[in-house]
Chains A and B, each alone.
Chain A
């Protein structure tokens, strides 16, 4: 516990990811599923940035940081589309319970 190294940050990332995974599997509200998905994105970003930091940084190892920035941007785009789909869903079914949206199931 003297200094905080790569392992501690990766542990944080793994725990956050599994909490997000639990949320995606368990929650029924579509917006709550989107929120848990965002937790998973953040966990991945933490691990990417900690790899950049602990492998020395600089131009050679900057890919982690750049990738994390791209993940932020793509997550923003994905949330936009997800919310649009949720709104369209609500307009049709008048609820957003993902358990009950099963018209295509046979």
Chain B
């Protein structure tokens, strides 16, 4: 069951991703993006990161896809098509991406990873464990980045409002 499920979900992820980069209609690209986010949430579920899967749907599908679609709605007419880039631009991009992919895959497959088996008793990181990690101040704790991310979100909020607001002329 497991390999088939993985390949099915991976196919949906890649299909959605191709829809994002090759679709002429930007709104359809936004829909493909939402589909990709959902499929990636399923991948996180398969990797036993259930909290992250739900957070992915909540934030990516529920907020980021929505805000990108707002941007599309405010800057496009319905059904407006965007022509693809000329081949002189697509070809080097394709070559570059394939080169990167081959390099990365070569590095992955010619490597012996220090893997460890999944121990059902200790390995699952529950929400409570994540809470302890986020609020821990000792060596393995993430309190400082956690607070910094809060400040970052505040800055992004204020900055976005300032940049996008109409100037009073």
Asked if A and B touch directly (CB within 8 angstroms), the answer is yes
* Chain A interface (Cβ < 8 Å from any Cβ of B): 1-12, 14-23, 25-29, 31-32, 34-36, 38-39, 42, 45-46, 49-50, 52-63, 65-66, 68-70, 72-81, 83-88, 90-91, 96
Could you name 21 residue pairs across A and B whose Cβ atoms are closer than 8 Å?
A8-B10, A9-B43, A11-B105, A14-B108, A18-B100, A32-B26, A35-B20, A38-B64, A38-B68, A46-B44, A49-B44, A52-B49, A57-B123, A57-B124, A58-B125, A68-B52, A70-B149, A72-B56, A76-B64, A76-B153, A78-B156
Q: Is the CB of A55 within 8 A of B67?
A: no
Q: Does B114 contact A (CB under 8 A)?
A: yes
Of all chain B residues, the one with the shortest Cβ separation from A91 is B166
B contact residues, range: 35 or more
In the assembled complex, the CB of A74 is this many whole angstroms from the nearest CB of chain B, namely 7
Q: Quick check: A20 and B123 within 8 Å, CB to CB?
A: no
A84 engages B40 (CB within 8 Å): no
- Once bound together, how far apart are the Cα atoms of A38 and B116, in whole Å? 30
Asked if B160 and A53 sit within 8 Å, CB to CB, the answer is no
Q: With A32-B29, A53-B47 given, is the CB distance from A69 to B152 under 8 Å?
A: no
Question: In the bound complex, do residue A84 and residue B159 qualify as a contact, i.e. CB atoms below 8 Å apart?
Answer: yes
